[in-house]
Amino acid sequence: MSKFVKELVTRDIKRQLDGVEDAVVVSYVGMDANTTNELRGELDAKNIRMMIVKNSLARRATEGSSLHPAFEGSSGQTAVCWGASDFVSLVKELVRLDKDSEKYEKFIAAGGVMDGERLDADKLKEVSKWPSREEQISMLVGQILAPGANLSAALLGPGKKLNSQIKKISEGDE
């Protein structure tokens, strides 16, 4: 590949990854074209983008950005995945595909970068166990609403008991 073509490809990679701060690097070597296409469709349904890159060009394109540590020490071709509603959801989906799917047995979540820090495969598995953004919001809403619900139950409980006792007494008199 000529120097001019490398520069064009590097510029294109930089343009596509512009604004991406957290990503996962995956290996797909050995997957045929149909399986890769199915994988892309499955990821696209979950709003996850996958771009196949040559590591040396990706290192050049991400130099000075928070994604650069993801490509340090790697060689050959890999794919970069980013997107989803949040980074934890992205990691959960990619680790699930890596671990569970027989269809994508050559798909391996190799590492990534979160907040500028390089993550290896083991750390990705740890991150996949964290609650996603939606789960965190639901836990927060539950914690916010719990005191009010407890207060409501404490205030209404004795009144309901009294009401049921009065109803029993009035039914017995008839």
Q: What is the mean pLDDT of residues 20-41?
A: 87
Contact between 66 and 115 (Cβ < 8 Å): yes
In the chain, the amino acid numbered 94 is L
Residue 117, classed as helix, strand or coil, is strand
pLDDT tens per residue across span 117-129: 888 888 888 888 8
Please tell me the predicted confidence (pLDDT) of residue 135: 84
Is the full-model pTM beyond 0.85? no
pLDDT band at 173 (very low <50, low <70, confident <90, very high): low
Q: Which of 66, 68, 115 has its CA nearest to residue 91? A: 115
